[in-house]
Amino acid sequence: MINQLITKIKETGAPIVVGLDPMLKFVPEHITKRAYAELGETLEGAGEAVWQYNKTIVDNIYDVVPAVKPQIAMYEQFGIPGLAAFKKTVDYCKQKGLVVIGDIKRGDIGSTSEAYAVGHLGKVTVGSKSYYGFDEDFATVNPYLGSDGVKPFIKVCKEEKKGLFILVKTSNPSSGEFQDRLVKAQAAVDGQDVSQGDALDRPLYEIVGEQVARWGEEHMGDSYSYIGAVVGATYPEMGKILRKIMPKNYILVPGYGAQGGKGKDLVHFFNEDGLGAIVNSSRGIIAAYQQEKYAFFGPEHFGEASREAVLDMRKDIADALNSR
């Protein structure tokens, strides 16, 4: 799947993933109105509105981006009907040829991570049959529980030719609270000679990054690993270091646009081959029609606004990469 993702990135010239994170305040009134008329102001109505909204966006962007990243929380908030809209969205995107990254940030002890892995990337066995639950192509994973929380995901990815993006340094303002903590060099902990001293102490995200790099090397596609990492666009200096620590891991970069990241912040996330990173934008694309710049499209033509925003983002990134 990582090979397929890279092929599609090359074809579209867009190292871009569109975050399908549909808050109801983004959904144009003509869509909510129709959904509520049919199903009422209910969880079912909300699910239908979100699905119709997604469908129009996907119809307008599927040929210019390689991938989408639905954030499952935005669906889960509407309970079962919301998750049904998530599943519908995943299926539709795959049908349109898009690579689907399930932004689920799951992670648990071994046997539990196995259940998540099976449910989102693999097949679950029921009696003599087996079924895909949600069937995304990639999933994001939280590493706080350590290797035995991550390995069941890797195992399923290997079997199913799918992939992961493991959280290393997230894009949010307080991500440093634990992720940036300076970890004592293992040599010092072990009581070895540490004459090089503090040079060996490193922030936790680098330690996690090194582990992701090791997993990456063991699980390679053609040129990159199918085990990737998440590193926020909002921390470009850290991105630069992590790029070097994880040369073979694709980096999923959230935080572009609405969260503050710009094209020029992104160049260090890419390798010399122009590959190695895929940049996410969510509300900057899906709610483009609500921005002054794209307001002339009007709410009725929100899908076209999203397409225009993708093309602008593609240019912003290409310009930044060309002038580095």
Of 52-60, 182-190, 217-225, 267-275, the window that binds its own copies (rule: CB under 8 A) is 182-190
Residue 57 three-state SS: helix
- Residue 7 interacts with its own copies (CB under 8 A)? no
**Closer of 7 and 130 to its own copies (Cβ):** 130
Q: What are phi and psi of 249, to 5 degrees?
A: -100, 130
- Selected binder of its own copies within 4, 8, 34, 36 (CB under 8 A): 36
The identity of residue 45, as a single letter, is G
Among this protein's residues, is 25 annotated catalytic?
A: no
Q: Which of residues 252-291 bind its own copies (CB under 8 A)?
A: 254
Is-contact 142 167, C-beta < 8 A? Answer: yes
Return the exposure string of 293-316: e unless at least 16 CB atoms fall within 10 Å of the residue's CB, then b. Answer: ebeebeeebbbbbbbbbbeebbeb
**Closer of 215 and 224 to its own copies (Cβ):** 215
**Closer of 2 and 17 to its own copies (Cβ):** 17
- Residue 61 interacts with its own copies (CB under 8 A)? no
What are the Cα distances from residue 13, in Å, to 7, 126, 218, 318, 323?
10, 42, 28, 8, 16
- 132's CB contacts (< 8 A; 6+ apart) are 122, 123, 124
Binding mask 125-164 for its own copies (x = CB under 8 A): xxxxx-xxxx-------xxxxxxxx---------------
The secondary structure of 115-151 as a DSSP string is HHHHHHTSEEEETTEEEESS--SEEEE--TT-HHHHH
Of 10-18, 173-181, 241-249, 261-269, the window that binds its own copies (rule: CB under 8 A) is 173-181
Shortest Cβ 181–its own copies spacing (Å): 4
- Selected binder of its own copies within 80, 187, 220, 295 (CB under 8 A): 80
Of 9-17, 61-69, 70-78, 244-252, the window that binds its own copies (rule: CB under 8 A) is 70-78
The one catalytic residue among 8, 105, 155, 264: 105
Dist CA 5 CA 297 (whole Å) = 30
Of 53-61, 81-89, 157-165, 299-307, the window that binds its own copies (rule: CB under 8 A) is 81-89
Shortest Cβ 33–its own copies spacing (Å): 9
Residue holding tokens 């995901």? Answer: 153
- Selected binder of its own copies within 13, 59, 161, 176 (CB under 8 A): 176
**Closer of 80 and 295 to its own copies (Cβ):** 80
- Selected binder of its own copies within 2, 16, 31, 46 (CB under 8 A): 46
- Residue 71 interacts with its own copies (CB under 8 A)? yes
- Residue 37 interacts with its own copies (CB under 8 A)? no
Q: Which of residues 208-227 bind its own copies (CB under 8 A)?
A: 208, 211
Is-contact 205 242, C-beta < 8 A? Answer: yes
**Closer of 19 and 303 to its own copies (Cβ):** 19
What are the Cα distances from residue 282, in Å, to 123, 160, 171, 232, 288?
29, 27, 13, 13, 9
- Residue 108 interacts with its own copies (CB under 8 A)? yes
Question: Which among 25, 26, 15 has a CA at the least distance from the CA of 57?
Answer: 26
- Residue 320 interacts with its own copies (CB under 8 A)? no
Residue holding tokens 């004592």? Answer: 184
Of 61-69, 120-128, 298-306, 312-320, the window that binds its own copies (rule: CB under 8 A) is 120-128
Tokens of 305: 């606004």
The secondary structure of 238-252 as a DSSP string is HHHHHHHH-TTEEEE
Residues with catalytic roles = 105
